Chains A and B, each alone.
Chain A
Amino acid sequence: MFERIMGMFETVANEGHGSVALVFVIGILFGGIIQYSRVDKFEKIAGFAMLRDTVVPKMLFLAVGVAGIGLYFMIEAGWAHYHIKPILLGGLVIGGVLFGVSMAIFGKCPGTGPVSIAEGRIDVLVGAIGGLLGGLVFTLFYEPVFKPIMGPDLGKSVLTGGAGDYGSVTILVFGIALVAVSMLIPLRQEFDEADLNRLG
């Protein structure tokens, strides 16, 4: 296994998507931002599912609105590239249902889970072990079971793609609308009792 872990660093080093150190730092910042804004908490994610906490959707919509506008102009300037995921309808819908149900019950997602584990949450560690087995099952039965469910590739469409010359207008409207939504969602917060005590 040691060899394969070394292989992971080697793959990243040779891939040209940033050095190992840079990718590690991106991870640190990702974990730090999630932890500092508290969106790794069960109270925030399951709380959103119960409509008792709105920090997650507010933060998500704001981030997407701002990054959407920024990215569009970065791509236009040649500073970034599109990396669009294809439309596999069966996979998106069935996967989306499984993901939505699990996210509400688990109160985590694959990005926030590890940050919670790093904070000492045992239940999330148990969920991660379940996730590893899920990943194992998916890998073992990918060809015979999961690939057929995912369905045919319907292409990599983007909203701005159909807008032609109006791409920049479309993205501005899209971005500003998302930022407005993030501000208009009423702020509701649900706290972890122990956490609140420490936060004073």
Chain B
Amino acid sequence: MIRRIPWWAGGLLMALLLMFTFSIFGADRPIGASTYVPYFAGLLFNLDPEQYGYLKQIDGAGAWEGVMLLGALFGGFVTSVFITKSFRFSVIPTAWKKYKNGSVVSRLAWSFASGFFMIIGARLAGGCTSGHFLSGMSQTAISAMIFGGVVMATLLITGRLFYKKEAQDV
């Protein structure tokens, strides 16, 4: 079995999934993936939706994305075990070792901090790579284009400043 599909096949499949999800035969809504995080935080820390206006506001979207996320976990697990055969426990990505460092503490601390700020950023912007880039841009939403431009620029600047230019031996 082919263990990896090329970028164009992935792009076409993603476009089809996006169109199906939008359609009235599908879910009649866009794909999103960051609203489930505060939604799950609300479940986990048992916050009262009556007390926190934000939880009330995201009740529908958070639940939908929560179920989709469970599907994504399942789909990712099955695909990585049976198709790509890439399932393995690991802590430091190869490219992090090459271009940053080999310290477990460093990778985990940066992961934790970037995960924290990523969700604050996504919720401030009202969407993420899925909600703005995929779903928003496909509808030619101006909000998505502003977000897309800012993210692309800061992503490339950070990539240039944060990592080493030359690869270290791994």
Contact = CB atoms under 8 A, between A and B. Distances in A.
A49 to B, nearest CB: 3
Interface residues of A, number: 142
Grouping DSSP codes into helix (H, G, I), strand (E, B) and loop, the A interface class, with mixed when no group exceeds half, is: helix
Contacts of A33: 10, 13-14, 17
B80 A142 contact: no
Q: What's the interface size class on B, roughly?
A: 35 or more
B168 interface: no
A42 B95 contact: yes
A175 to B, nearest CB: 9
Given A130-B116, A142-B52, A85 B127 contact: yes
Nearest to A42: B93
B111 A106 contact: yes
A131 to B, nearest CB: 4
A104 to B, nearest CB: 4
18 contacts: A4-B46, A15-B63, A31-B79, A32-B75, A34-B10, A37-B9, A46-B96, A52-B95, A58-B8, A88-B143, A96-B147, A110-B37, A114-B76, A115-B76, A118-B72, A121-B89, A121-B90, A132-B119
Interface of A: 1, 4-5, 7-9, 11-12, 15-18, 20, 22-43, 46-52, 55, 58-68, 70-71, 74, 78-124, 126-140, 142-143, 146, 149-150, 156-160, 170-171, 174, 182, 187, 190-195, 198-199
Please list the 3 inter-chain residue pairs (A to B) with the smallest Cβ-Cβ separation, ordered nearest first.
A27-B71, A49-B159, A37-B10
